[in-house]
Amino acid sequence: MTVTGAVLLQGGGSSGKTTIGQVFDSTDSIPLCEIEYTQNANSAGGNFQLLYEEAKGAGSNTYLSAQDSLGTQYTFEASLSGGVLTIYVNGALVFTKTPSYSGKTFYFKAGDYDQTSTSGPVTTTPYTIVEICSLRIIHQ
């Protein structure tokens, strides 16, 4: 899956975080990995991080060596091919791992899955806005 997009608004201030892409394990109903955009404290910039989870509740976060400012277009690629998970951000390889997933089925997801919103009264004011400019998925 290759996605070009931009995080236009990040809710939660310096602790804001939104998932912009996933490789989802449909067998166990959990994400194998989530590509997240996190807001930098006291700046308009953000970092990309990865939540990796082979078993429910056993996830770990890895900060990726990629940054982008709010409103700046990024491109990420998530691939699970030949038994290897690879993540590229803006053309640079930032994560690779060989998961143990015998007999499992996976699919890709992209969007705006806000990780910092809280419950409360319903509002029409946007909290987080993610724009997807292009989306390309190849299954082989």
Taking only the tens place, the pLDDT of each residue in 5-23 is 999 988 876 678 899 999 9
Closest by CA position to 35, among listed 118, 107, 95: 95
Interatomic CA distance for residues 21 and 4, integer angstroms: 11
pTM: 0.88
CATH 3.20.20.140 is held by the domain 2-136:
no
Interatomic CA distance for residues 49 and 64, integer angstroms: 5
Instruction: Say if strands 84-89 and 30-39 run parallel, antiparallel, or are unpaired.
Output: unpaired
Taking only the tens place, the pLDDT of each residue in 59-86 is 888 888 888 888 899 999 999 998 899 9
What is the predicted pLDDT for the residue at 89?
96
Give the start-to-end residue ranges of the domains of the chain. 2-136
Helix (H) or strand (E) holding 7: strand 2-9
**Which residue has 């993610």 as its token pair?**
130
